[in-house]
Chain A
Amino acid sequence: MAADQKGDHERVPLTINGQAIDAKVGVTLVEAAWDARLPGITGVGCLEGVCGSCRVMLRRGKEITLGLACQTFVETGLEVIFLPPSSAPRHHYSISDFRDSWDIHARFHAIFPEASRCRHCHGCVTSCPKKIAVEDGVALAAAGRYREAGEVFLECVMCELCDGACPELIAPAHVGLFCRRVTAHFHLRPPNLVTRLEELRRKRLAGSKGESERE
């Protein structure tokens, strides 16, 4: 739909989910799949690379890479497989259970026991469509440097391609998210917000007192 009109004559041959199609020049893999009426392309969301749903495996000759279909353009001979959604998470925690920030290091390693076993294969780094230094982020997390680790994962769109790529089943995307969450949960106490909350609490108290006096 967003394709240029001039591209109507030129076609790019490629395969998507095993089906050979001819796509317009300059369209994304999602647009190509739609134009070809391919069935079962439901793992598509935002179309601008932030929801992480349209995960694809790409093959160019012998080279195999991963990516997001809405951000990848058609190429001659490209073989594309839309990947199924990732499986259910194997880690479990509830942030409201974290009362004491002093034991967070122990908590982290209990929730993500694999995080300290990184074998530096770079699988997570090469699979990341946002070019995040995933491996460094995991190392920082394992060393207890949660704020810095979380910062590494700022642009993470939770496509979970790194989770699938990790031979040690570390679930790097979720490690990164954990680091960001505990940083906010324990350290964000902004004075302007705290002050306004307290003002509103007093006003409510005064209000309810006023009401009961009137009664």
Chain B
Amino acid sequence: MTVGGVPLAAALAEYRPDAEIGPLPTPVDSDALLSTYHPDYLRGSVVTLAVGANAGGSCQRDLAELLQAEAFIDEADLAGIPVTDVDVLVVGGGGAGCAAALTAAEAGARVLLATKLRLGDSNTVMAEGGIQAAIEPEDSIQKHIQDTLRGGHHAGDPELVARMAEDGPDVLRWLIDLGMQFELTPNGDLRTRRGGGTSASRLVFCRDYTGLEMMRVLRESVTLHHNIEVWEQSPAVELLSNECGLACVGAVLASLVDGGLRIVRTRSVVLATGGLGRLHLNGFATSNHLGATGDGLVLAYRIGARLCELDSFQYHPTGLVFPSHLAGKLVTEGVRAAGALLLNGLGSRFVDELQPRDVVCAAILRECQEGRGIHIDDRRVGVWLDTPRLEQAEPGLLERQFPNLMSRTRGSGVDPRVQPLLVHPTLHYQNGGVVIDLDGASSVPGLFAVGEVAGGIHGRNRIMGNALLEIISFGRRAGRAATTTHDRGPKKVTVEHLNHMRRALTLAGLPMTRRTPMILPAYARGTPCTR
């Protein structure tokens, strides 16, 4: 990243919340903006995959290294490991995993939910902005579909998008029945606001704690459900296949506590492992939780599942640059939806703040690269998110609507009510993922994928509030469908698919020195986590 522009101290001294702001410059062509400044288009960041279901397709380089790598498990490892039999195995303890587990359990299945960290440690819990559902009279399911497809640059699958948008209102009903609260208007309607890139007011929210409120309700429901067993600190290190290596019949789980392995045999596996922000693609900071290392993509790819849009990631426009311990963490888009402006080092606006995220992100990167950013040191640069102006227009608004933002910055010496926030794009979301059908089923029999690990809905850019909708909509769909697979075929579980993969890697002349999935980022590993 090139750095230049105004030093932080000078920019702060210059800043006035009531300064006159000139008109927005005429917008440039957004395609040109994206192809020049968006990280997806960085030269050398994309490679062509040599093996697997996507061979010949393009993929981000760091991710390709993980997909085309050696596994932790060998056939010999399977002997003598304790075996557990369940109907449905859900891998991942965020919102999508919980929704799938609850739905499968309600349908009578015995469910095991295995999660790498603690149940609920996920990106869901950090979601602040809200969940999209077309419920206002002037809005419609059709508009929601159009906004989602347009936001995704028409790379999304219209069928998947249509089902998700149609599910919206019923998803809210399901969540309310489980006991999730939302903001209301004085006459009892669900309060909505407009997210970036949408044509109607469609975001339903709970202050800026929407994800937390959702996650604690889901977590309690899962914990207290008699048909669901939860194993924490138990990452999946490999999937298991049938004798031909062509169907998924279980998984090998490792324990982060004692390093022991366990085999789980099941009728179906639901992957709900989330995203990969902790790979820090292209050197970016991330908004993601510690476990977001793309494990699900690796496991699915090795067993033969087709993936999509592996070269497309979302960089959220407003990640914090300062305070340091929150570097990369988000300021919700809700703040911009409420009216906060973005200003460069010269105190001018440079983009319509409610454009889709990729466009706003590219615009911020342009300002920083062309020397109109505000910089702390050689590495850290950003632009202002003008929160004091918002506070001045409506005193008390930040405390009332964004208590999470206020509580996170309290004690760090930055008060968003008087000092604008220094923000820079941060790696936020994996737009693509495992290719799924309307039931969340992957191209491998017995393997489902839901939530961020799945792809096809958001095309090449996700609009705000569709992630929380997707995890519940498709989590429930996959949970239902996973219970209908009755016969898992021959009793034998194997790692035959690994033999296929190893042969292909050898033929392609690729090194097999690295073992994946990553499980934890290197800086957080302490000791080797599995073996």
A5 touches B377 (CB 8 A): yes
With known contacts A45-B289, A53-B118, A27–B325 Cβ distance under 8 A:
yes
Is B219's beta carbon under 8 Å from chain A?
Answer: yes
> For the complex, what is the distance from the CA of A49 to the CA of B136, rounded to whole Å?
33
Is B108's beta carbon under 8 Å from chain A?
Answer: no
Is A103's beta carbon under 8 Å from chain B?
Answer: no
With known contacts A130-B407, A158-B216, A200-B169, A190–B184 Cβ distance under 8 A:
yes
Residue on B nearest A186 in the bound complex, by CB: B179
Distance between A50 CB and nearest chain B CB, rounded to angstroms: 5
With known contacts A192-B135, A197-B170, A50–B224 Cβ distance under 8 A:
no
8 A Cβ contacts from A17-72 to B: 26-28, 31, 33-34, 37-51, 53, 70
Is A210's beta carbon under 8 Å from chain B?
Answer: no
Please tell me which one of the listed residues B172, B184, B404 contacts residue A50 in the complex, with CB atoms under 8 A apart: B404
> For the complex, what is the distance from the CA of A33 to the CA of B525, rounded to whole Å?
10
What residues on A are CB-neighbors of B290 within 8 Å? 44-47
With known contacts A44-B117, A51-B121, A196-B135, A2–B166 Cβ distance under 8 A:
no
B167-179 Cβ-contact flags toward A at 8 Å (1 or 0):
0011011001111
Q: Which of A116-124, A135-143, A161-169, A175-183 contacts B (4 or more CB under 8 A)?
A: A175-183
> For the complex, what is the distance from the CA of A33 to the CA of B256, rounded to whole Å?
17
B179 touches A182 (CB 8 A): yes
Q: List 9 A-B contacts (CB under 8 A).
A: A3-B324, A26-B325, A45-B289, A48-B329, A53-B117, A158-B216, A177-B220, A181-B179, A190-B184
- Other A-B pairs, 6, CB within 8 Å; known A158-B219, A196-B169, A197-B169: A48-B329, A155-B403, A158-B216, A181-B179, A200-B141, A200-B170
What residues on A are CB-neighbors of B184 within 8 Å? 188, 190
B208-222 Cβ-contact flags toward A at 8 Å (1 or 0):
010111001101110
With known contacts A45-B290, A196-B169, A184–B120 Cβ distance under 8 A:
no
Distance between A110 CB and nearest chain B CB, rounded to angstroms: 15
A150 touches B181 (CB 8 A): yes
Residue on B nearest A179 in the bound complex, by CB: B179
A101-126 Cβ-contact flags toward B at 8 Å (1 or 0):
00000000000000000000000000
What residues on B are CB-neighbors of A185 within 8 Å? 176-179
Among A4, A158, A190, max chain B CB count under 10 A is at A190
Which of A's residues lie within 8 Å of B, judged by CB?
1-5, 26-28, 31, 33-34, 37-51, 53, 70, 73, 85, 88-89, 92-96, 130, 150, 154-158, 174, 177, 180-185, 188-193, 195-197, 200
With known contacts A180-B179, A192-B136, A93–B224 Cβ distance under 8 A:
yes
Task: Determine chain A's interface SS by DSSP, over half rule.
Answer: loop
What residues on B are CB-neighbors of A31 within 8 Å? 325
With known contacts A26-B324, A191-B188, A193-B169, A51–B118 Cβ distance under 8 A:
yes
B181 touches A196 (CB 8 A): no
B182 touches A41 (CB 8 A): no
Is B408's beta carbon under 8 Å from chain A?
Answer: yes
B407 touches A37 (CB 8 A): no
With known contacts A180-B181, A196-B135, A1–B120 Cβ distance under 8 A:
no
Among B133, B182, B219, B524, max chain A CB count under 10 A is at B524
Distance between B171 CB and nearest chain A CB, rounded to angstroms: 11
B526 touches A174 (CB 8 A): no
> For the complex, what is the distance from the CA of A34 to the CA of B188, rounded to whole Å?
48
Is B157's beta carbon under 8 Å from chain A?
Answer: no
Among A46, A95, A130, A188, max chain B CB count under 10 A is at A46
A37 touches B126 (CB 8 A): no
Residue on B nearest A85 in the bound complex, by CB: B118
What residues on A are CB-neighbors of B125 within 8 Å? 45-46, 50-51
Is B225's beta carbon under 8 Å from chain A?
Answer: yes
Q: How large is the interface on B (under 10, 10 to 19, 20 to 34, 35 or more residues)?
A: 35 or more
Is B101's beta carbon under 8 Å from chain A?
Answer: no
Distance between A36 CB and nearest chain B CB, rounded to angstroms: 9
B188 touches A190 (CB 8 A): yes
Please tell me which one of the listed residues A3, A5, A33, A95 contacts residue B178 in the complex, with CB atoms under 8 A apart: A95
Is B497's beta carbon under 8 Å from chain A?
Answer: no
> For the complex, what is the distance from the CA of A33 to the CA of B520, rounded to whole Å?
15
Residue on B nearest A4 in the bound complex, by CB: B324
B256 touches A42 (CB 8 A): yes
Which 9 interchain pairs have the tightest Cβ spacing? A181-B179, A45-B121, A39-B527, A190-B190, A192-B189, A39-B526, A2-B324, A2-B327, A196-B135
> For the complex, what is the distance from the CA of A59 to the CA of B436, rounded to whole Å?
50
> For the complex, what is the distance from the CA of A92 to the CA of B224, rounded to whole Å?
6
8 A Cβ contacts from B156-208 to A: 166, 169-170, 172-173, 176-182, 184, 187-190, 207
8 A Cβ contacts from B114-146 to A: 117-118, 120-122, 125-126, 133-137, 141
Residue on A nearest B285 in the bound complex, by CB: A2
Distance between B202 CB and nearest chain A CB, rounded to angstroms: 11
> For the complex, what is the distance from the CA of A88 to the CA of B229, rounded to whole Å?
12
> For the complex, what is the distance from the CA of A43 to the CA of B120, rounded to whole Å?
12
B137 touches A192 (CB 8 A): yes
With known contacts A155-B209, A193-B190, A51–B120 Cβ distance under 8 A:
yes
> For the complex, what is the distance from the CA of A85 to the CA of B231, rounded to whole Å?
12
A1 touches B179 (CB 8 A): no
A46 touches B217 (CB 8 A): no
B329 touches A47 (CB 8 A): yes
> For the complex, what is the distance from the CA of A155 to the CA of B189, rounded to whole Å?
23
> For the complex, what is the distance from the CA of A165 to the CA of B181, rounded to whole Å?
27
Is B232's beta carbon under 8 Å from chain A?
Answer: yes
What residues on B are CB-neighbors of A182 within 8 Å? 179
